[in-house]
Structure 1
C-alpha cells in the first residue's frame, strides 16, 4: 500500500508541476497588455507621467524582468509562507489570495452538494430502473434529456421559469443586495433562496448521466455469468442484485473522478448566468480584464482541488475493490 501511495503521489506531483507551468504560460499568450490598460484607465494626458506609471506597475507586478526570471519568481512565491499569488490588476490593489478565498466558499457550496447528491441519487435511480420496467421507461428518457442539456441552457431556463414566471426563487446574485454577509437568519435564508436555482442547474444535468451509467452497468452485471451461476444455485434475487450493484459501483467511483472537470466547467457557466459570486464569475472578470495573476490564482486552486479529489478517489477505490487490495498485497509479498 505504501508503494502504491508513493507511486500515485509522484504521478500527482509531476502532474501538478506540469499544470502549474501551463497555468503560468497561458495568460502570457493572451492578447492585450494589462499594464497599458491600467495606465489608460488612469486617464493621464502627460506622456512622461504615463511612462512613469507604466514603469511603476511593471516593477510592482514583476514584469520588468526576463521571462525566465518571472517563471522562477512565480515558483518562489508559491513556496513562500503564506503563498503569494500576487496583486489583482482587475481589483487593484487587492491581493489575489483574498479575492479567491472570498469567492471559494460560494463555489464549494454549489459544487460539493451538486456532485455528491447527483452521484448518490443518480446511482440509486439507475439501479432501480435496471430492474423495474415501468421505472425504466420513465427514468431513461428523462436521464437522456437531462444529460444532453447544456449547463448554460438549463440555467437560463431555470432563471426564466423558476425566477421570472413563478417568482419562487431569486434569479441573480448569492444574496439580497440590501444585506451584508453575517451570521444571521435573514442572511442565511436569503443565501439559501439564491442557492437553489444554481444548484438545480448543476444537479439535474449530472443526475442524468449517473442514472444512465448505473442503469447500464447493473443490467450488464445481472446478465453476467456469475449472476446466472448464483441464480442456478438457488441464490435469492435480492442477493444477486446486491452483488451486481456493488460491482457496478466500481466504474461509477472511477467516473466520479473523471466527471469533476466537466462539472467544474458547468459551474463556471452557471455562475456567470446567475451572476453568482464564485470562482466562475471571478474567472470571467479575470479573462475580460487580462488579469494574469487573478487568472493564475483561480486556475491554481481548481487544479489543486481536482488533483486532491482524484487522489482521494484513488484511495477509496483501493478500499472498496478487494481485487485491487489483493493485487497490492501480492505485489508487496
Structure 2
C-alpha cells in the first residue's frame, strides 16, 4: 500500500475519513510514508458534520496492487437513502480488486462495496444500525454482526466511526508488522487492538492495550531489538525511571508480565514463525537470541500448557 485513495460520497462522516487518514499519515513518522489521495464525483463534498471537504475528480491512472482504496461511510437513516454513485466508479473498485489490490470500507461504505459486487461470498461488517439492512441488500454477503472489522480476500470492512482506526491499524500491521501498528496507535493515543471480539494474534498487540507512555517506550525498544540481551537496568535507564518503578508499571500495564517475560514472548512468537517456515528449532532459537534450544523448548512447552 504505497498510496491510499479515499473515495468520498456526499454526507461522509468526518471521523470515518479522518481516523484512517491520520493512521496512515502517522506511519510516515516511523519510516513508512504513504501518499494520501482523495477522489469524489464533485470537487466539493459536504460532510455530515457540515465541514466541506475538497477532493480530486479523477482516479490515479497508475493504481497498482500495492495501493489501497478506502470508502468512508456516510450519514443516512437507511442504506436505501445512500447517495447514488456512477457506474464507472464502481468499475474502478472492481477492477482494482481484480488486479490484486485491497479495497476497504468504514461504516455505511460497505454498501458501496456491495454495489460493486465485492461482498458476494465474503465476510463483511458495518455499523450495528445498518447490519441487518446490509444483509438484506446484499444477500450473497456474509454479514458478521458486532465486530470491529472483517478481512476476507483483500476486502476489509469495519463497523462504524472510530472503528476505521482499528481497520487502518490492522492494515498497517499486516503490511509492516504489529510493532509499527503499535507505534502508530501510541502516537494517536488509542488502543492498539485488532478486533474487540477476537484474541490478539500478536504478543506485541496483545500487551499494548494500555496508555502508559513509560511502558510503551520500553516495549518499543523490546519490540525492535528483542534478540539481544536487554537487562532491566538498561530498560529502566531508557525509560528514565527506577528498576522498581519500571517493574511495577510494566506489570500493571501488561497484566502481570515482567519486561523479561514480555521479551521471551516476543522471542518465542518469532521462533514459532521461523519453525513454521522450515527452520530447525536450533536455528530458530539462535536467530531470536537464545544461546541454545533448551530455553526455547521450555518456553514453548510452557505456552502450550493449558494450565
User: Which interval holds the TM-score relative to the shorter structure?
Assistant: under 0.3
Structure with a larger share of its residues in helix: 1
Radius of gyration: which is bigger? Answer: 1
Instruction: For CA contacts below 8 A with separation 6 or more, give which structure has more relative contact order.
Output: 1
TM-score norm. by structure 2 comes to 0.24
Structure with a larger share of its residues in strand: 2
